[in-house]
Structure 1
Amino acid sequence: MNPENKVPYVVSGKSFTAVAINCAAKAGEWIKSKLGMYKELNTKYSPHDLVTEVDKGAEQMIRKLIHTHFPDHAFLGEEGVEPGPAASAEAVESVKDAEYVWIVDPIDGTTNFVHGFPFYSVSIALAHHGEVIVGVIYDPSRDELFVAEKGKGAYVHGKRMSVSHETSLADSLVGTGLPADRDFALPLNLMSIQAVAPHVRNIRTAGSAALHMAYVAAGRLSGFWEIGLNAWDLAAGSLLITESGGTLTDIHGNPYHLAVRHPVASNGRIHNELLATLKASGAAQSV
């Protein structure tokens, strides 16, 4: 541990974390090289849920690299799962008994990538018997690598991260999203935004849940919540937050696990107030 940030955090060898970092960096640089050059744009669950051949190619690259080192490990990637909440829940259920499972979102923020808006990321996590033990989020646009190992802290640019110090919503900058599910998740999240907005300093909806969670871990956001996310959106960020001293639950305040779809993350200090505000919005009662 290095609270004064004097010694960089270094990963070497073929450890789980080294492989995750290597995969995220290689995929991220390839994705960045394709910015503005994708050939095919398709939709998945809704007209707002986009996928390109770059998403699919990046996931294939990550899968191959991981299985080169750990051929017996299970793999849960966004592009390998049918669209929709039911299919996502089934996919998580299918790997619940795996000793090791890699959980990957090759491009978290595909809509941003498509529009050239530089806020998207590669998210890679490794869970052991359902507990996340490695989390890596890479932002190719800023060349920022967020890394966490269970029990060893979380780091960005090799320096130890810690959550922000705000103690009230009134002093907090928080993040959320505008879900692609226009029928269920979006109306509920808009309801929650309307409830939270008057109580916080401001809200950011930048379009990558993984990066929003990394920003909570780094102290750049005091909190984050969203209705209707999936394991690949959350797994890596979950460890970054807890290893940075933050708190992550579902919208009802229950502990995080891989099947959680409605997360609330914070620096811990504003968590109860944020949960209470979301509960008062009515959104929590609907999920």
Structure 2
Amino acid sequence: MSDTLPAPLPKAVSLAQQQHIVNIIRRAAKAEIMPRFRALSAGDIRAKSHAHDLVTAADTAAEQMITRALQIAFPEALIVGEEAAADTPELLGEIANAQLAFIIDPIDGTWNYAHGMAVFGVIIAVTRFGRPAFGVIYDPVNDDWVIADDESPAMMDAAATSPRPLKASMGKPLNALIGYVPLHIFPKEHQAKLAVALTGFARTHPLGCSAHEYRMIAQGHADFLLTASLHPWDHAAGALICERAGAYVEMLDGGPYNADRHSGHLMVAPDRTTWNRLKKVFAFLLEQP
């Protein structure tokens, strides 16, 4: 029997490729997103699944531009954009079996964007067979981004400044925690009990934008996140970035987060001890109605 350890897998995307992905995002934001911000006409905005689930001309144009650039750079990869998946839902089923997949949210926080509020971002995640391996969350307004891969620490970077490492917050008593819990996306039968549970924290104020919620947690400005919606374009990059910033990330019913999972509750906390305390608070969500 050989004592030789198996060689580690190479990075899903090299450092040079990571920078290329950032450049693709920045170009799309400059060309398609920021020129339309606060300049959308009524015809540029439409509803998808419900009246508050919006898509704009900027979403579709930015996703198309990013997709084209990624297809050129990574011709072997699966590309799954939020808007493409809305038109072709079977794309989501391909993530689990894809050796390399790019998952794009061209504008996360579209409702905010469509209403002129500057709390939105661009998210790209890279997965290997559903497991997040690289993520970047870009803020087009400030032209900066948080970034991590599955081997490196999470970093904040910008064109005009040097990168700096990110560190999630320290654990603290539940009544001192600041979190993001979007009450409206949870099943109606759980909302009343969940609303009462939220009174036990210092603040719970969702931003309507996963991009900035994950950025805030990775920077240590907020402490936890709980969601009942597992769209991979919302969470695959942020879950990895927060984990690499030192946070503890796990599904409420146990096990790691994977981008090919489409139901359940994802929870991010400063550390495992705090995560376990939070689980006791939210355990009722696991009960069958």
- Normalization by structure 1: what TM-score? 0.85
1:266 aligns to 2:269 (yes or no): yes
- Aligned AA (1:32): M
**DSSP-derived class of the 1:274 partner:** helix
Q: RMSD in angstroms over aligned alpha carbons?
A: 2.3
1:15 aligns to 2:16 (yes or no): yes
Q: Aligned partners of 1:188 and 1:70: how far apart in 2?
A: 44
Q: Cα offset for 1:167?
A: 2.3
Residues 154, 243 of structure 1: 8 Å contact kept: yes
* CA-to-aligned-CA distance 1:180-204 (integer Å, 9 cap, x gap): x6xxx36367446414322211111
Larger radius of gyration: 2
Structure 1 unpaired stretches of 5+: 1-12
Single out whichever of 152-161 and 33-42 deviates more from structure 2.
33-42
- Counterparts of 1:28-67 in structure 2, within 5 Å, are 28-29=29-30, 30-39=32-41, 40-67=44-71
Partner of 1:176: 181
**DSSP-derived class of the 1:64 partner:** helix
Judged with a 3 Å threshold, the aligned counterparts in structure 2 of structure 1 residues 187 and 106 are, in CA distance, closer, same or farther, namely same
Residues 95, 129 of structure 2: 8 Å contact kept: no
Partner of 1:210: 211
Q: Aligned partners of 2:15 and 2:236: how far apart in 1?
A: 21
Judged with a 3 Å threshold, the aligned counterparts in structure 2 of structure 1 residues 66 and 192 are, in CA distance, closer, same or farther, namely farther
- Counterparts of 1:203-242 in structure 2, within 5 Å, are 203-242=204-243
Q: Cα offset for 1:152?
A: 0.8
Q: Aligned partners of 1:113 and 1:28: how far apart in 2?
A: 13
1:73 aligns to 2:74 (yes or no): no
Partner of 2:165: 160
Q: Cα offset for 1:153?
A: 0.7
Q: Aligned partners of 1:202 and 1:174: how far apart in 2?
A: 6
Q: Runs ≥4 in structure 1, deviation > 6 angstroms?
A: none
- Counterparts of 1:190-201 in structure 2, within 5 Å, are 190-191=191-192, 193-201=194-202
- Aligned AA (1:163): A
Q: Cα offset for 1:286?
A: 4.6
**DSSP-derived class of the 2:125 partner:** strand
The structure, 1 or 2, with the larger RCO (C-alpha pairs under 8 Å, 6+ apart) is: 1
Q: Aligned partners of 2:189 and 2:127: how far apart in 1?
A: 30
Partner of 1:247: 248
Q: Cα offset for 1:176?
A: 2.3
Q: Aligned partners of 2:117 and 2:131: how far apart in 1?
A: 33
**DSSP-derived class of the 1:199 partner:** coil
Residues 179, 205 of structure 2: 8 Å contact kept: yes
* CA-to-aligned-CA distance 1:54-102 (integer Å, 9 cap, x gap): 100010011011112111211111000137xxx85x4322232111100
**DSSP-derived class of the 2:126 partner:** strand
- Aligned AA (2:176): D
Q: Cα offset for 1:207?
A: 0.6
* CA-to-aligned-CA distance 1:204-236 (integer Å, 9 cap, x gap): 111111221221111111001111230110011
Q: Cα offset for 1:14?
A: 7.3
Partner of 2:127: 127
Q: Aligned partners of 1:91 and 1:250: how far apart in 2?
A: 23
Identical aligned pairs, as a percentage?
25
Q: Aligned partners of 1:192 and 1:213: how far apart in 2?
A: 25
Judged with a 3 Å threshold, the aligned counterparts in structure 2 of structure 1 residues 168 and 27 are, in CA distance, closer, same or farther, namely farther
Corresponding residue pairs, total: 266
* CA-to-aligned-CA distance 1:102-143 (integer Å, 9 cap, x gap): 011001100000111111110001112322111000111233
Q: Cα offset for 1:252?
A: 1.8
Q: Aligned partners of 1:195 and 1:256: how far apart in 2?
A: 27
**DSSP-derived class of the 1:229 partner:** coil
Q: Aligned partners of 2:187 and 2:58: how far apart in 1?
A: 26
* CA-to-aligned-CA distance 1:3-61 (integer Å, 9 cap, x gap): xxxxxxxxxx8733112211222223331221112232111111111011110001001
Judged with a 3 Å threshold, the aligned counterparts in structure 2 of structure 1 residues 16 and 60 are, in CA distance, closer, same or farther, namely same
**DSSP-derived class of the 2:75 partner:** coil
Partner of 1:9: none
